[in-house]
A and B are shown apart, each in its own frame.
Chain A
Amino acid sequence: MLFGKDQPLENIVVRGARMVDPVEGVDATLDVRIDNGVIAALGTELEPNSHRVISGEGLLLAPAFVDPHVHLRTPGREDEETIASGTAAAAAGGYCAILAMPNTDPVVDSAATLGALLVATRDQAEIPVGFLGAITKGQGGTELTEMGELADAGAAGFTDDGVPVSSAGLMRRALQYAAVTGRRLALHCEEPTLSRGGHMHEGEVSAELGFTGYPSVAESLMVERDLGLAAYERQPLHLLHLSAWESVQAVRRARAEGVAATAEVTPHHLCLTDEAVRSLDPNLKMNPPLRAASDRTALVEALKDGTITAIATDHAPHARHEKEVPFEAAPFGVTGLETAFPALYTHLVQPGLVPLEVVLERMSAGPARAYGLERPRIAVGATANLVLLDLNASYRVTEEVFRSRSLNSWLLGETVKGKVRATIAAGSVAYAA
């Protein structure tokens, strides 16, 4: 389900890093030796065997990250992102694998379109990429795609992300048919008649600023509907970018009742609230919108207690001129690949809101599990998918930080802590600072 360039498999020794793999129960300062891209030995004072030696002293080595929600904008908007630039951005952010959304132009709704993308991916991708296919043709919400053929061609799952599947009847059919493919549906939950015209969360800040509100209930109603259908059909599903307290409650309830639902949350929803929109900076406009402090608190709690198992950037590049407009005229979306870890480390781990181990797990094993991908891990015999992090590095996020073709980051100008020093993806060094 993952595709990329053939990269040289490395022989490396990383010395003296603190290794943390919360799933494997590893937390120790050790050396790791990688032979031909596979973790061959963990221990102290390992023989380098003429391998390339990287000093990990004072650094943290963890399973590399998996981003289940990226917009690569290819095909159609290669001015905003390409497979090459998007995967380079991901590598710089510590990712060893990403999943790309199908809301491109044309939409990835046929095996032919997917096949062409895979050819380009094998030629350009710096790290492995998986592609989700659309649930409905052209994401039009009326006719199912040929999910069986798409799955055979390599689709990692199915989604109409960007728009909801409005029809409950069609949603039910999609859930039924997805079972045939063995792939999961990933749902963008938004009741369009409630969100229409909305630019930000409906609440005290929108009332004061005058924006038409996009209420929490527009999301949670759809979450409830889809969980209800999943329970009825006994099918699993994955919920994209949850933003509201009510949605979290619904997921918690459904999981307690045995629904196989996974859910993701973005760094910006975990770090910010609608108060940030007061600046009217178009880089704070996204769908779903930043919500109230109580929603943010609920998301942080859900991340900790495992109701939400995945952190997803929803990396959504936009051309500079499209964001240099009044807030109301700007498109939804912010980038996040390069900055996800420093954002979370600065806003959640450092203030003591979330333990580091939880962030590491939800950025790696959690999202991999949601889509049935192999989990990056620190263990002898595992393919090397590792990220080397400097938790003491503090720096200002400037335009130079970005490998993406787009710069619509909410962190521009902010000083953050936590820097990716190197990324090893599928046994190959994808990034080194």
Chain B
Amino acid sequence: MTADIRVMREDLRPPGRPPRRHFISIKDVTKDDVERLLATARTFERSLEREVKKLPTLKGRLVINVFYESSTRTSSSFELAAKRLSADTMSIKSSGSSVDKGESLKDTAITLGAYDPDVIVIRHPQIGAPRLVARVTKAHIVNAGDGKHQHPTQALLDLYTMREELGRLEGLHVAIIGDVLHSRVARSLIQGLTLTGAHVTLVAPPALLPRGIEAMGCEATIEIAAIAAADVVYVLRMQRERMQEGANYVPSLREYTARWGVTPARLRPGQKVMHPGPMNRGVEIDPQVADHADALIETQVRAGLVTRMAVLYDLLTSGPAEVKAESALEVA
């Protein structure tokens, strides 16, 4: 099959030019790439401790954020990440734009591509939307979430948070609990964790555990007791909009909370708790757990800024071989 080549249109690439890099899926990166991105993020974290937080690194570059779905933390952190690196930014939301007039994604992408953006950050409800934008524009594409498929920068910020808080990823045991079926966060995180040598256990009600998911290199169980062995309990949002009447994934949110809610009684002291947000307090996570010192939820948000800075920086510098994360900042 040459389908991959066809989609990426790599055959149209001028000879001798390196392939244009995207960050659409964790599958796009290697373990070395992840290590480099995490190291770059750490140097940016230190730079943010200075009084003047802006770096001139991406001056004159254009980053366009296109969000076809609502978002607070992802869109704000991408925008701030670009600004902290001195890039110009534009943000397009589907409501109030030509999307309301029925414009196709292809045409919107071509229109935005006409401004010669260096990076297009896109969130879209449909799987495969970032690949389509990659095909019809010349920009580097960063996937900020496409349907139930991937949310690779979320995985990166979660890896960063775990590495900073627990000192390692290799050999770490992470339990991911909740609505795995509908979660792009879970899919990216499973790949990111297995790539970096961590061990993953999925815990979910039967209908929310996708058939065949173990092939991603993780364990899967319906038993909440399985979280006890984990170093980190990663709680997924119970997506209320998916739980409409008649869907019957679980009989009720009440029953979900009773069986799979993460409560103080179900945690060991010292177990770290993470959540990608937004939380449904009292549904998938008990308020006491969310507010406890072992919860890393606010840390995750801060990590989101520096890891997204690292992704933008990495895509717009000349390529993996020439990037030296530490020295890059000295130039800046």
Binding site for B on A (CB under 8 A): 199, 202-213, 215, 272, 276, 278-284, 321, 324-329, 410, 412-414
Which residue of the partner chain, among A211, A324, A414, contacts B148 with CB atoms under 8 Å? A211
Partner among B7, B187, B216 whose Cβ is within 8 Å of the Cβ of A279: B7
CB-nearest residue of chain A to B135: A324
Q: Once A and B bind, how many residue pairs between them come within 8 Å at the CB atom?
A: 96
Query: Does B199 count as interface, using CB distance less than 8 angstroms?
Result: no
**A326 — which chain B residues lie within 8 A by C-beta?**
105, 124, 126-129, 131-132, 146-147
**Cβ contacts under 8 Å, B124 to chain A:** 326
Given A208-B216, A410-B3, verify A202-B106 contact (CB < 8 Å).
Answer: no
Q: By the criterion CB–CB under 8 Å, are A207 and B184 in contact?
A: no
CB A335 to nearest CB in B, in angstroms, measures: 15
Q: Mark B202-227, 1 if CB is under 8 A from A, else 0.
A: 00000000111101100000000000
**B209 — nearest CB in chain A belongs to which residue?**
A207
User: Within 8 Å of chain A (Cβ to Cβ): is B6?
Assistant: yes
Q: Which one of A206, A208, A284, A325 lies within 8 Å of B105 (CB-CB)? A: A325
- Could you say which of B4, B104, B149 contacts A210, with CB atoms under 8 Å apart? B149
Residues of B within 8 A of A279 (CB): 1, 3-4, 6-7
Closest-by-CB residue of A relative to B180 is A207
Residues from chain B with a CB closer than 8 A to the CB of A204 are 212-213, 215-216
Q: What size tier do the contact residues of chain B reach?
A: 20 to 34
Q: Mark B126-153, 1 if CB is under 8 A from A, else 0.
A: 1111011000000000000011111000
Closest to B132 in A: A326
- Distance between B234 CB and nearest chain A CB, rounded to angstroms: 17
Contact residues, B166-206 vs A (CB, 8 A): 184, 187
Q: List 17 A-B contacts (CB under 8 A).
A: A199-B127, A202-B211, A203-B212, A204-B213, A207-B211, A207-B213, A210-B187, A213-B211, A215-B211, A321-B104, A324-B132, A325-B126, A326-B129, A413-B5, A413-B6, A413-B11, A414-B2
Apart from A215-B211, A279-B1, A413-B6, what are 13 other A-B pairs with CB-CB below 8 Å?
A203-B211, A203-B212, A204-B216, A207-B215, A208-B212, A208-B213, A210-B148, A211-B148, A324-B106, A325-B104, A325-B126, A326-B127, A326-B131
Contact across chains for A328 and B147 when beta carbons are under 8 A apart: yes
Contacts of A205 in B (CB 8 A): 212
Do the beta carbons of A413 and B128 come within 8 Å of each other?
A: no
Residues of A within 8 A of B127 (CB): 199, 209-211, 280, 326-328
* A206 & B212 in contact (Cβ 8 Å cutoff): yes
Residue pair B3, A276 in contact (C-beta under 8 Å): yes
Most buried by A among B11, B127, B132, B184: B127
Give CA–CA (A207, B211) in the complex, Å.
6
State in angstroms the CA–CA spacing of A327 and B147 once bound together.
11
Identify A325's interface contact among B1, B106, B149, CB under 8 A.
B106
A13–B3 Cα distance when bound, in Å, is: 41
Contact B148 A280 (CB under 8 A): no
Question: From A327, which residue of chain B is reached at the shortest CB distance?
Answer: B128
Task: Check if B215 sits within 8 Å of A412, measured CB to CB.
Answer: no
Name the CB-closest residue of B to A209. B149
Interface string of B102-129 (1 = CB under 8 A from A): 0011100000000000000000101111
